[in-house]
Amino acid sequence: MVVSLGIPTLPGRVHGATDGRPATPGLVDRFGRTATDLRVSLTDRCNLRCTYCMPADGLPWLDREQALSADEIVRLVEIGVRDLGVRQVRFTGGEPLLRADLVDIIARCAALEPRPELSLTTNAIGLASRAESLAAAGLDRINVSLDSLHAETFMKVTRRPFLERVLEGVDAAAAAGLGPIKINAVLLPGVNDHEAPALLRWALEQGHELRYIEQMPLDADHTWSRSSMVTAADVRALLAPHFGLAPVEAPRDGAPAERFTATATDGSGLTGTVGIIASVTEPFCVDCRRTRLTAEGSVRSCLFSHTETDLRESLRSGADDAAIAELWRGAMWQKPAGHGLDDPSFVQPARSMSAIGG
């Protein structure tokens, strides 16, 4: 009898390789996956306090010297793209726009060979004045988090009254050519789930791609509950009276979102693409291609890891690039098969989303 522990089964386990890694330059793991998509957290700080991410009072922030400098970040990204097969780099946080040296970091990463694809995940506060310089520095695309179009609900989710600034930021990003813009929305039951169709209508009208993200147990307050979260199936049901959804045929190719062509049922002809990221109820760990760096320079092989590998100490004690690359490979080799969220023994990681880098 097979008893499912809720951990996805993975094909392509490297036969007999559990005791040692194959001699390959890439970031491979014991289950045959190769990480080519790097998420770099530029800071643990944020100017919002989204309830599903941060506590109301914030967190004990890293000291300036604990966080990686621009030079250290660019050096790690260079090792990633030159030696480890990283092809996409997404800057995140915390709130990456809080870094005064963001444009410099992007420009230096855009000059690397081979040139990685560069994107940013941001809450867009302050983006209005920086979108053009970010695009000029070489930023290719942007994802903006926006959970409500109503000031009161926005305030309830983020605990800050900044909706207008976010909307201005989105418009500036579009004007600067940072599209296609993806809008990330986390739906919370009884708070903003009623806005699911309105958010999609707005995104389609603006020409942005909305992605609904299932809430994961990565909130600092540990209030997440599997039984009360809004699932991908709930999202489809909420949209059904307003939009027809036809699955996009193109292969997902490691992307977390399942994409649909949404067409309004009101005869207006409004149509476009929408994504649903069902990390909890329809996990995609089997095809995960991510590796993560925290703001203090540790590798996390999975959002839900309980272990990390510190690269900052090596960076600062004079290790050469080859030694750092080898440490990084070793960390990724230990990547777990899956997050096991549906496993009764699942334990939420100590770090919350803002401190990992979402």
Residue numbers at the binding site for ligand SAM (CB under 6 A): 46, 52-53, 92-93, 95, 121-123, 145, 184, 186, 213, 215-216, 218-219, 353-354, 358
Tokens of 42: 């530029």
Rounded Cα–Cα distance for residues 156 and 336 (Å): 35
DSSP for 199-228 reads: HHHHHHHHT-EEEEE---S--TT----TTT
Q: Which does 54 bind (CB under 5 to 8 A by kind): ligand SAM, ligand SF4, none?
A: ligand SF4
Asked if 40 touches ligand SF4 (CB under 6 A), the answer is no
CB nearer ligand SAM, residue 109 or residue 170? 170
Rounded Cα–Cα distance for residues 331 and 29 (Å): 9
CB nearer ligand SAM, residue 73 or residue 218? 218
**If DSSP states are collapsed to H, E and C, what string results for 236-272?**
HHHHCCCEEEEECCCCCCCCCCEEEEEEECCCCCCEE
Segment interacting with ligand SF4 (CB under 6 A) among 49-57, 270-278, 296-304, 318-326: 49-57
Q: Which does 276 bind (CB under 5 to 8 A by kind): ligand SAM, ligand SF4, none?
A: none
Segment interacting with ligand SF4 (CB under 6 A) among 44-52, 65-73, 281-289, 319-327: 44-52
Taking the alpha carbons at both ends of the chain, their separation in whole angstroms is: 37
Asked if 46 touches ligand SF4 (CB under 6 A), the answer is yes
Rounded Cα–Cα distance for residues 202 and 164 (Å): 15
CB nearer ligand SF4, residue 83 or residue 195? 195
Tokens 């000031």: give the residue.
151
Give the CA count within 13 Å in the CB-facing half-sphere of 348. Answer: 17
Kindly calculate the radius of gyration of the chain based on its CA atoms and give it in whole angstroms.
20
Q: Which does 92 bind (CB under 5 to 8 A by kind): ligand SAM, ligand SF4, none?
A: ligand SAM
Binding mask 123-162 for ligand SF4 (x = CB under 6 A): x---------------------x-----------------
Tokens of 35: 């990480």
Contacts of 95 (CB under 8 A, 6+ apart): 43, 45, 46, 47, 48, 122, 123, 125
Question: Tell me, what DSSP letter sits at residue 138?
Answer: T
What H or E segment, with its residue span, contains residue 89?
strand 88-92
Asked if 163 touches ligand SF4 (CB under 6 A), the answer is no
Of 35, 54, 77, 216, the one binding ligand SF4 by CB under 6 A:
54
CB nearer ligand SF4, residue 220 or residue 245? 220
Binding mask 194-213 for ligand SF4 (x = CB under 6 A): --------------------
Q: How far is the CB of 49 from ligand SAM (least distance, A)?
A: 11
DSSP for 29-60 reads: -TTS-EE-EEEEE--S--S---TTTS-TT---
The closest alpha carbon to 165, from 62, 95, 100, belongs to 95
Q: Which does 215 bind (CB under 5 to 8 A by kind): ligand SAM, ligand SF4, none?
A: ligand SAM
Asked if 167 touches ligand SF4 (CB under 6 A), the answer is no
The closest alpha carbon to 299, from 26, 107, 80, belongs to 80
CB nearer ligand SF4, residue 205 or residue 221? 221
Asked if 49 touches ligand SF4 (CB under 6 A), the answer is yes
8 A C-beta contact, residue 242 and residue 197: yes
By CB under 6 A, the residues from 85 to 124 that bind ligand SF4 are 93-95, 123
Q: How far is the CB of 216 from ligand SAM (least distance, A)?
A: 4
Q: How far is the CB of 349 from ligand SAM (least distance, A)?
A: 11
CB nearer ligand SF4, residue 36 or residue 215? 215
Interface residue list for ligand SF4 (CB under 6 A) = 46, 48-50, 53-54, 93-95, 123, 145, 353-354
